[in-house]
A and B are shown apart, each in its own frame.
Chain A
Amino acid sequence: MEPLRRFFRKYGWRYIPGVIFLALSSWIQTLGPMALGNAIDLLEGEDPQLEAVFTQAGWIVLIALGTFVTRFIWRHYIIGNARNLEVSLREDLFAKLQSLPVSFFNEHKTGDLMAYAINDVGAVRMTFGPATSMMLTGVGVGTFTVLSMGVAVPAKLMIWALLPLPVAIAAVYFIGKQVRRRFTRVQELFSAISGRIQESISGMRTLKAFAREEEEIDAFAPQNEEMQNANIQLADVSSLLNPIIQVIFGISFLTTLGLGGNMVYRGEISLGDFVAFHSYLTMIMSPIISIGRIINLLQRGMASYKRLNAIFELPSIPDFESGEMPAQDIDGAIQVRNLHFSYSGTGPEVLSDISFTLEKGKVLGIVGPIGSGKSTLISVLTKEYPVEEGQVFFGGKDIRAIPAKALRETIGIVPQDSFLFGCSIEENIQFYQPGATHEDVLQAAHLSGLDRDLAQFPQGWKTIVGERGSHLSGGQNQRVAIARALIRKPSLLILDDCLSAVDTGTEAAILENLKTQMEGTTAIIITHRLSAVLSADEILYMDEGRITERGTHAQLMELDGDYAKLYRQQSNQEGEEAGI
């Protein structure tokens, strides 16, 4: 069931006391002018009595207290509930995003998804909180005011005085529309100009390297000016709203004074009624001014609600909720039989006819040019993308029968983009094994060669890595990611071209560590540098989604194909340098 409906089933009842107290509050509010009018009548009449005046003053205070209490209660139910809705929607959204397949994130920018969490959730809150209460208050106050007016003065005065109001409502509606349009434009320009500033500052090193910062400054000017003009245009139209309402109400006041004054003069109504009527007219003004805002909030809320629902309705990963399966059922040889794969199911094949067997404890190397399908193969093996039945097996079990969660519990992966979280180095390493001891962290950091750089970290292992690891060098990022994968001693280790930013000496040391310390771990190593896979039990050479060559290093050299050519290119360079 969609989250919003679920929320209302659970908390929707709160709107009932909310609305009741809101109506009460509106009604009590409209009593105010009447009490004041009565007091004035008393004072103006012959021989006013102190007790009677006291009673009216008491009413004025009591009405204020009544308004205070009822308003407090309805705000607690309606506005408080909207906050509750906001928090609950955001959490549902977070959980929903977690359950979506990786392809969803490839198609959506982080910034766009953030807009759901910030703007859309916020807009829905505004609709169900402030906009709802403003609307109800407007209706309540409006109705009660008009009713009270009817009691206070003859219909003739009321009708004449209220006659201009439809014009006011129409003005609010049309000007409001203009304001919204120009406001949207200002917002768009603001985000455009912010984006530009962000880009210019982020790219400043590049601009400076080419000494083109002055041109960048000049290029900024038109956008800046556009923003200035859009803001002025917005102010021009929004500056109309209040004055126009004021003038239209001015006509109402003119009628009240002229017509009503004469009525009092002729004794048709009392002075108190006249004064009360005047106050009512003032009271009805603010709900009318807020009509534009209410419409705006409702529209935005509805649009946001639709956008959010589109996300909530997306299908989750099939076995996202389930996940228990004993690790030994998964442990064992990996078999891939005639695997064909394309991202959309019908599009061009990214993997064609892939077959191999990786025995437990053996090392598989995968090499090949960019775009040959190496990383896609890893995504298939980690169940990031679903495959047809009968193509991939873990320990003899079809991958489709293994829940993704259970499968991933056994895999330690170092992805190409290492992605660290903005916490400390130690916390990043502990990520895969919460509750791991400091010794475990040290051990993993040693295996990944990260401890070589310990001296460079100002706070040691507690050093914060910065947003996405930005305080560390590329090589350090990669080694933290390796340590993160190793800490759990996974039964399958996958290294996806994760040593590219590490210098050769360090790379050698890491590979040596892995060889000696991780004995018995099944491993898949993807790399551009062949040095990393020389001792692999089998090497696959992939090109355009197919395995074109396979075998041990020696066998592949003997085959004298693409692998051998690549090897010679790399080793020639190194070899010549070595003088061999």
Chain B
Amino acid sequence: MSTKAAKRAKTAFKDHSSVRMVRLLLPYKWPMMLCFICVILASLTELIKPYVMEILVDDLLVAGVEPHGLYSFWGLGFIYFLVVAIGALTAMAQVRILSRVVQKVLASLRKKTFTKIMRMSLPALDRYGSGRLITRATNDVEALNEFYSDVLVNLFRDVFMLVGIVIIMLSMDAKLALVGFSAVPLILLVTLLVKKRLRRNFQEMKALIARINAFFAENIAGNRVIALFNRQINKLKEFRALNQAYFRTTMIQVTMNSIMRPIMEVINSLAIALLVVYGFYGVTGDWLKVGVLYAFTTYIKQFFEPINDLADKYNTVQSALVSADRIYEILDQEDMTEDIMRGSHTGHVKGSITFDHVWFAYQGEDWVLRDVSFTIQPGQKAAFVGATGAGKTTIISLISKFYTPQKGRIFVDGVPLEEWRTLDLRREVSVVLQDVFLFSGSLADNIRIHAPLTEQQIQEALELSMADAFVSALPQGMHTELSERGSTLSTGQRQLLCFARAIAHDPAILVLDEATAHIDTQTEKLIQTSILRIAEKRTAIFIAHRLSTIRNCDTIYVMQRGEIIESGTHEELMERKGQYYTLIKTQHSLVGD
């Protein structure tokens, strides 16, 4: 996709990610409303508690009003308890309601992201790289979890508390309130100075720990090479340097945190000391009650907490916003996905393939295929040979509609490729790739890949691909669980499984892309026989460096720098004494005398 298109996709949605994050909650407006009512109630109880104390101190203790009914020490104590209990209940209700909403929102976001990624076209996948996409669907979604469940409601509560305290303090005693607030500029100053530095350091720390982890992982994975080349000392030194750099940032972090938190309390105490001194004039001047003064010391403490919190939450908000931006960057891209149900032509593929003056480039004018034309009839066997990078594998990707050629057309069964429904087409084209991917799960599931295949069918495929020999030797046979990318199997065995997988899906077109590179000669020989058997009923395309595998093909296409330079049967090409002949000669001279 061009950068222009990317820009267009971005500008189409003007809303800031934060707005969109809040909007995700809209479908749950009733629970969210309830949640906010709980927050307000909980905050109110916090504000009422000091007030109850004030009444108790001023009316009952200082003014000496005769206690009666609820207006007594036990009565007020009971009210105090009631307020606490209501606060506790509403706080609990709030967490429970919110967690339900948030987890639903997150699960749906995770699903949406995963779905979007799974529907991406190959060019988009190439552009983003799987590593980044994995982070989007896992860590980035998780960063939002923290934002929603920790920050969002607390943010509301903090703001509500701040406003509430300001109002209640001002209404109880405006002058005293202003004295209390005099500490605010000091707090803001400290926060701005230290927190900024702290945040920068924290980012540095995170970056370093990420590098340390990557370095560690690489050294574990490459331990054999490091040992064989005696590079332990060098690697240890490199590691030590990284580790020390990290240590320095952590010590900065420790020091700054040691200043930050306690200094807030110093400021807090300063404000209280000011209140006490000011209170002296108030009490002696008889315009201030002691209980109000005591309530104020509590309010001041409560007032500092949200400010502190808000500063702390800033980090979470920041990283959540970054994550949200990244997730939306993916969700917003319109031209990144492909709809495999698109295409009017459905049904089975018979197997003829025609390329009509096809030009293709992955990027700009870097032509990987130049004016390629050929026709393969149903049931024919065709081969593409040529050096690495000649464009052989690209042809396969085009047939499967993973990429669209810039010029020229491609037909399958005489129908233009763009009219074919992608789903039907891909299910009929099985490719055995160079790069074998196995999923964790049972061996049988790896052959099925979600298709409804019976064990019988799988067994047949295993037998045809010669994989049966080693599979039946496994303790659980085809039900054996495979681990981390099939690491318990040898490269050759994995390739055989891949082969079985392709056969099991009974494709009309079978493509073998260097499928036998890691298989030893004896096994390969066996497979060759079965390939011929399987290929009888279908169109087969071979891509090979090793020319031995293809001499029986109906047509051999020799490719060079994206062009077909020769084609014909093995005999015809040998007779022609062209590029193919030279290739064969080189290979032969390596083996024969």
Contacts and interface: CB of A to CB of B under 8 A. Distances in A.
B254 A79 contact: yes
A194 B113 CA distance: 13
A194 B77 contact: no
Contacts of B251: 80, 83
Given A408-B229, A415-B228, A58 B273 contact: yes
Interface stretch (A37-45, A329-337, A351-359): A37-45
A558 interface: no
A304 B73 CA distance: 52
Interface in A207-236: 207-217, 219-221, 224-225, 227-229, 231-232, 234-236
Given A575-B592, A577-B547, 17 more contacts: A57-B277, A64-B265, A87-B250, A91-B243, A97-B219, A98-B223, A117-B213, A118-B213, A207-B449, A208-B122, A214-B118, A234-B99, A369-B522, A530-B591, A531-B587, A566-B522, A574-B590
Given A370-B490, A504-B586, A257 B56 contact: yes
A309 interface: no
B283 interface: yes
A218 B237 CA distance: 48
Interface stretch (A146-154, A238-246, A342-350): A238-246
A562 B460 CA distance: 30
A567 to B, nearest CB: 8
Interface string B117-137: 111101001000011011001
A576 B591 CA distance: 12
A210 B449 contact: yes
B77 A40 contact: no
A296 B240 CA distance: 31
Contacts of B440: 195, 199
A94 B219 contact: yes
B61 A91 contact: no
B2 interface: no
14 contacts: A40-B290, A53-B280, A58-B273, A71-B262, A79-B254, A95-B236, A110-B221, A114-B217, A114-B220, A194-B134, A216-B118, A254-B80, A503-B388, A574-B588
A40 B293 contact: yes
A310 interface: no
Contacts of B246: 87
Given A64-B265, A265-B61, A370-B492, A56 B276 contact: yes
Given A72-B259, A75-B254, A109 B61 contact: no
Contacts of B234: 434
B520 A370 contact: yes
B29 interface: no
B247 interface: yes
B111 A48 contact: no
Contacts of A229: 103
B294 interface: yes
A236 B522 CA distance: 62
B56 A203 contact: no
A573 B551 contact: yes
Contacts of A242: 88, 91-92
A111 B272 CA distance: 53
Nearest to A59: B273
A187 to B, nearest CB: 11
Interface string A568-580: 0111011111111
Contacts of A274: 61
A505 interface: yes
Contacts of A110: 217, 220-221
A167 interface: no
A256 interface: yes
A240 B505 CA distance: 53
B546 A408 contact: no
Interface string B191-204: 00000000000000
Interface in A30-87: 32, 36, 39-40, 43-44, 48, 50, 53-54, 56-58, 60-61, 63-65, 67-68, 71-72, 75-76, 79-80, 83-84, 86-87
Contacts of A143: none
Interface stretch (B13-21, B320-328, B429-437): B429-437
B3 interface: no
A407 B436 CA distance: 36
A102 B228 CA distance: 10
Interface string A442-469: 0000000000000010000000000110
Given A253-B80, A271-B57, A580-B588, A475 B290 contact: no
Question: How big is chain A's contact interface, by range?
Answer: 35 or more
Q: Which of B220, B283, B284, B490 has the most CB of A within 10 A?
A: B220
Nearest to B114: A220
Contact of A67 (B73, B265, B505): B265
Contacts of A39: 276, 279
- The dominant DSSP class at the A interface is helix
A258 B221 contact: no
Contacts of A99: 232
CB-CB nearest 5 A-B residue pairs: A573-B548, A261-B73, A235-B99, A64-B269, A257-B77
Contact of A97 (B223, B430, B492, B590): B223
Contacts of B80: 250, 253-254, 257
B294 to A, nearest CB: 6
A575 B592 CA distance: 7
Contacts of A80: 251, 254-255
A327 interface: no
A70 B11 CA distance: 54
A141 to B, nearest CB: 14
B76 interface: yes
B228 A571 contact: no
Interface string B488-526: 001010000000000001000000000001101110010
Contacts of B258: 71-72, 75-76, 79
A90 B247 CA distance: 11
A468 to B, nearest CB: 7
Contacts of B130: 201-202, 204
Nearest to B396: A209
B92 A210 contact: no
Contacts of A404: 227
Nearest to B266: A64
A75 B256 CA distance: 11
Interface in B250-295: 250-251, 254-255, 257-259, 262-263, 265-266, 268-270, 272-274, 276-277, 279-280, 283-284, 290, 293-294
A514 interface: no
A161 to B, nearest CB: 11
Given A228-B106, A246-B87, A468-B221, A239 B77 contact: no
A261 B235 contact: no
A216 B450 contact: yes
A83 to B, nearest CB: 4
A569 B525 contact: yes
B65 to A, nearest CB: 11
B88 A432 contact: no
Interface in A150-203: 190, 193-195, 197-203
Interface in B66-119: 67, 73-74, 76-78, 80-81, 84-85, 87-89, 91-92, 95-96, 98-100, 103-104, 106-107, 110-111, 114-115, 117-119
A217 B547 contact: no
Nearest to A196: B440
Contacts of B188: none
A526 interface: no
Nearest to B436: A206
Given A232-B103, A505-B586, A369 B520 contact: yes
B216 A419 contact: no
A534 B591 contact: yes
B272 to A, nearest CB: 6
Interface string B534-559: 00000000000111110100000000
A253 B590 CA distance: 93
Contact of B224 (A217, A238, A419, A475): A419
Interface in A528-547: 528, 530-531, 534
